[in-house]
């Protein structure tokens, strides 16, 4: 089975098994953007708690959050872990948004995909996965998100090797699939779900939809 066929088959099998996963949680593009930064090195439940605290404080606004004392922000996002570091990363992004787009998130998302992606990668603390999560889920841009689950599933199905870079894995998808936001959204969510449920560090291959679905 060729790579393009295998990627297509993987999507069809997982989509049939899990259905529409409606990923990523968040009420506004800014909330999603904040969540993408806070979710680094933690689980989503901890991020939800932190976002809830920011909401209660009325700080899910780019200008208000930027002008709030670091110590107060850190206390509110404590549940997300590494809260002092993540406060600095949030502030770095907010200062970037202010200097480049006068604090207007819509203006940022109106930029061409690769232009804004390059700018985001220049913000301290924002790497490829965070930048692409912001762009795909917050901005509706067709940027495929690669995470640890993606890498693990692809390695175990012989689509990549451990030395592949983030960019190489992203290109594997984007060079072979339509540049479609909804497709990328659902595909990434499916890989996360199969990674959590079956393709764990110690794999549970028995019962995994990919066990028979990708048999060649």
* Residue of 15, 7, 3 whose CA lies nearest to 186: 15
Total-model pTM: 0.95
Structure tokens that stand for 15 in this block: 């989509």
> How many domains would you assign to the chain?
2
If one compares 125 and 23, the residue with the highest pLDDT of the two is 125
pLDDT confidence of 108, banded at 50, 70, 90? very high
Task: Judge whether residue 59 has pLDDT over 70.
Answer: yes
Q: What is the pLDDT of residues 61-103, one digit of tens each?
A: 999 999 999 999 999 999 999 999 999 999 999 999 999 999 9
One domain, residues 36 and 16:
no
User: Within a 13 Å sphere around the CA of 164, how many CA atoms are in the beta-carbon half?
Assistant: 20
One domain, residues 91 and 154:
no
How far is residue 97's CA from residue 67's CA, in Å, rounded to a whole number?
Answer: 13
Query: Of 23-27, 75-79, 183-187, which range is least confident?
Result: 23-27
How far is residue 67's CA from residue 48's CA, in Å, rounded to a whole number?
Answer: 22
- The enclosing domain of 200 has a CATH number of 1.10.1670.10
One domain, residues 46 and 101:
yes
Task: Judge whether residue 216 has pLDDT over 80.
Answer: no
Residue that terminates a domain, selected from 73, 104, 138: 138
Structure tokens that stand for 63 in this block: 């200008």
Mean pLDDT, residues 185-209: 95
At residue 169's C-alpha, the angle toward residues 168 and 175, to 5°, is: 80
One domain, residues 42 and 88:
yes
Structure tokens that stand for 143 in this block: 């940027």
One domain, residues 189 and 209:
yes
Mean pLDDT of the chain: 95
pLDDT confidence of 22, banded at 50, 70, 90? confident
One domain, residues 123 and 152:
no
Return the pLDDT at 215: 61
One domain, residues 209 and 155:
yes
Return the pLDDT at 214: 78
Residue that terminates a domain, selected from 138, 155, 171: 138
One domain, residues 70 and 162:
no
Q: What is the pLDDT of residues 134-160, one digit of tens each?
A: 999 999 999 999 999 999 999 999 999
Listed in sequence order, the DSSP H helices in 19-112 are 29-38, 44-56, 62-66, 70-76, 83-101, 105-109
Mean pLDDT, residues 201-205: 93
Mean pLDDT, residues 8-21: 96
How far is residue 140's CA from residue 7's CA, in Å, rounded to a whole number?
Answer: 22
One domain, residues 149 and 184:
yes
Residue that terminates a domain, selected from 138, 169, 186: 138
Task: Judge whether residue 48 has pLDDT over 70.
Answer: yes
Tokens 């659902």 belong to 186
pLDDT confidence of 128, banded at 50, 70, 90? very high
One domain, residues 45 and 111:
yes
How far is residue 47's CA from residue 55's CA, in Å, rounded to a whole number?
Answer: 12
Q: What percent of the chain has pLDDT over 90?
A: 93
Enclosing domain of residue 198: 3-22+145-213
One domain, residues 126 and 206:
no
- The enclosing domain of 121 has a CATH number of 1.10.340.30
How far is residue 48's CA from residue 117's CA, in Å, rounded to a whole number?
Answer: 25
**Cα distances (angstroms) measured from residue 205 to each of 6, 45, 148, 159, 213:** 18, 26, 18, 17, 12
One domain, residues 153 and 207:
yes
Task: Judge whether residue 188 has pLDDT over 80.
Answer: yes
């Amino acid at each position: 089975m060729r790579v393009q066929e295998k990627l297509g088959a993987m999507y069809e099998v997982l989509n049939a098994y899990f259905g529409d996963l409606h990923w990523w949680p968040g009420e506004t593009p800014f909330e999603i953007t904040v969540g993408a930064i806070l979710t680094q090195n933690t689980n989503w439940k901890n991020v939800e708690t932190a976002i809830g605290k920011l909401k209660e404080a009325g700080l899910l606004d780019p200008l208000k959050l930027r002008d709030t004392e670091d110590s107060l922000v850190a206390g509110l996002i404590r549940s997300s872990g590494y809260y002092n570091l993540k406060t600095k990363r949030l502030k770095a992004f907010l200062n970037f948004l202010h200097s480049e787009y006068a604090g207007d998130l819509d203006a940022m998302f109106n930029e061409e995909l690769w232009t804004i992606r390059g700018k985001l990668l220049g913000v301290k603390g924002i790497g490829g996965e965070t930048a692409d999560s912001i762009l795909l889920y917050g901005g509706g841009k067709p940027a495929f998100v690669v995470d640890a689950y993606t890498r693990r599933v692809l390695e175990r199905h012989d689509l990549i090797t451990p030395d592949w870079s983030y960019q190489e894995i992203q290109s594997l998808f984007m060079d072979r699939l339509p540049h479609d936001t909804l497709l990328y959204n659902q595909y990434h969510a499916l890989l996360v779900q199969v990674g959590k449920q079956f393709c764990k560090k110690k794999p549970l291959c028995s019962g995994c939809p990919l066990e028979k679905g990708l048999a060649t």
